[in-house]
A and B are shown apart, each in its own frame.
Chain A
Amino acid sequence: MPIEPVAGLLPIVFDLPFREGYVRSIIFVSLYVSVVAVTLSTLFSVPVAVAMGFADFPGKQFAKSVINTGMGFPSVVVGLLVLFAVSNQGPLGSLNLIFTPEAMILSQFVLATPPITAISLAAITGVDEGVRDAARVLGGTRLDVALVVLKEARYGIATAILAGFGRAISEVGSVLIVGGNITGADGISKTRTLTTAIQLEARQGQYETAMVLGAILVALVLTVNAIVVRLGDREVRP
């Protein structure tokens, strides 16, 4: 991973007032939480989008509206709902999830699922009818047809996943509430992400440090996008 040497150089380049390993650990927590959450969201969203794209059922438009509304759901509200769920008083209280990365994954799953589902659904619906018909005519089973459509819609689905990832990794409201922005006394992050670290620096009036962390976050999102686009291109060739 290129993150290691780059993160190691940061304190030298910017003279950040952080202890060794701090920036690296918040990058790790950010990536861990967002990647796991987006992976789970994708595993949930894409089959749902496929099922909705192929089936006609009463209330389909309403279901679409609900998903589209979910895309604009305020992250702070999601954070509060997840807090009520995982708090000691809540239904998941006995699992002791409050102030852990797992609670953050849960809230980011809730946040990332609507955009991934909605954009995937749009991509699947947008696949030319002729492609489906051709697959059927060639004697494809329902599964074959679904796979063909998925292949045709892969760019749209990649965009969906990136949109979900973008929402997860740049989000600050819910991870702050359910994660608690915790870093150990040894300077290694437990539930502090890049966004909550930026919030902490801003709270202390350290705007310059906050800006540097912001630049790291943007660079990180850019890198992930570039990697996904590259993978998408490579898939076409064979």
Chain B
Amino acid sequence: MPIQRRRFVAAVGAGAIASAAGCSGIAGTLGPSGDDGSEGPAVVGETLTLTTTTSTYDTGLLDEIHPEFEEMYGVTVDAVAQGTGAALESARNGDADVVLVHARGLEDEFLRDGYGINRRDLMFNDFVIVGPESDPAEIRGTASATEALTAIADAEARFVSRGDNSGTHTKELNLWEAAGAEPGGDWYQETGTGMGEALNVATQQGAYTLSDRGTFISQRSAIDLVVLVQGPIEDGPEILANPYGIMAVNPGVHDNANYDLAMAYIGWITSPDAQDAISEYRTNGEQLFFPEAVSDDPDFQQYVPEGWSSDSSD
């Protein structure tokens, strides 16, 4: 019964679209502008739903670069900033057309489950371990992120965790695992909030936290924390790299996904022009994101789950 109702609604919707299309067709032939459809692509007026992480949105990057894409295709991009876990979940439910996130493990799971296709490496920045100037666990200048975390755990110095299944939270949990330390106890606090709020909580409590460099830079003036362990951009350990990937939602799973426009978006944002715009974006005079989609080196691993090979049984 629900299926029949759905078909009915779909039929009514299709009828409405067909009649609307008919009207615009007539308007097109009669209109004074002589608009015969050749002036713009057929996607004009459509909406692309992008679910993404808070770091790409809150830093202002997307608002800065999206107007060019919207103008190019005559479309609207609805950017929903949710955090990596929630962004992928929305896409699994078929509520997004394209996802831009930063947790390779979760992205790979999304690909393997068949929800995502046409993945590209988009850009990167890095994570930094920040904390109070007084540095009670004495991690300043430590060359290894895992050693720094071990020192924090040993000293039972306060540490603020995002605790929200975001890309940053996922990275933090991976780091604790790599450090062989079990976070817990009074000194370890999950806030369940965005990066900006977590940085504020850390400031209030004189605590350490893991932050993406972009959010840290864009809020540095309002918080009282310093970078104690640098990421790879400032010659820190490679384990703190923060790569962002972009994927289209598989129209074979969700047939309502706007696949054409999603692929147009991926094509645009990985193009030299948009990649230049990403590298030129500045907050407080500092570059937040480093593009990596344009390369003369054929990196096949960006298209498939990490470590995947056609020879393996997977």
Q: Which residues in A have some Cβ–Cβ distance to B below 8 Å? A: 87-89, 91, 93-96, 98-99, 180-182, 184-187, 190, 200, 202-207
Given the contacts A88-B94, A94-B6, A203 and B219 also touching, CB distance less than 8 Å:
no
Q: Which chain A residues lie closer than 8 Å to B80 at the CB level? A: 99, 180-182
A89–B93 CB distance below 8 A? yes
Residue of A with least CB distance to B76: A184
CA distance A190 to B58 in the complex (A): 17
B196–A205 CB distance below 8 A? yes
Contact residues, B145-197 vs A (CB, 8 A): 193-197
Q: Which chain B residues lie closer than 8 Å to A185 at the CB level? A: 62-63, 66-67, 70, 77, 79
Interface flag for B108 (CB, 8 Å): no
CA distance A222 to B81 in the complex (A): 31
Smallest beta-carbon distance B175→chain A, Å = 23
22 example contacts (A-B, Cβ-Cβ < 8 A) are as follows: A87-B94, A87-B95, A88-B95, A88-B254, A91-B2, A93-B256, A94-B6, A94-B256, A95-B13, A96-B256, A98-B95, A99-B49, A181-B81, A182-B78, A186-B67, A203-B54, A203-B58, A203-B194, A204-B58, A204-B196, A205-B197, A205-B199
Q: Count A-B contacts at CB 8 Å.
A: 74
Most buried by B among A91, A203, A204: A204
Q: Which chain A residues lie closer than 8 Å to B10 at the CB level? A: 94
8 A-B pairs besides A99-B78, A203-B54 with CB distance below 8 A are A93-B256, A184-B76, A184-B77, A184-B78, A185-B67, A203-B58, A203-B193, A204-B196
Q: Which residues in B have some Cβ–Cβ distance to A below 8 Å? A: 2, 5-6, 9-10, 13, 49, 54, 58, 62-63, 66-67, 70, 76-82, 93-95, 193-197, 199-200, 219, 222-223, 254, 256
Interface of A is mostly: loop
CA distance A95 to B197 in the complex (A): 36
Smallest beta-carbon distance A95→chain B, Å = 7
Smallest beta-carbon distance B71→chain A, Å = 10
Q: Which chain B residues lie closer than 8 Å to A182 at the CB level? A: 78-80
CA distance A204 to B214 in the complex (A): 12
CA distance A186 to B63 in the complex (A): 7
Most buried by B among A99, A185, A186, A203: A185
Given the contacts A87-B93, A93-B94, A185-B63, A204 and B254 also touching, CB distance less than 8 Å:
no
- 5 tightest A-B contacts by CB? A88-B94, A203-B194, A185-B66, A204-B196, A180-B80
Q: Which chain B residues lie closer than 8 Å to A206 at the CB level? A: 196, 222
CA distance A88 to B63 in the complex (A): 26
Smallest beta-carbon distance B28→chain A, Å = 24
Residue of B with least CB distance to A86: B95
A205–B219 CB distance below 8 A? yes
Residue of B with least CB distance to A180: B80
CA distance A82 to B16 in the complex (A): 25
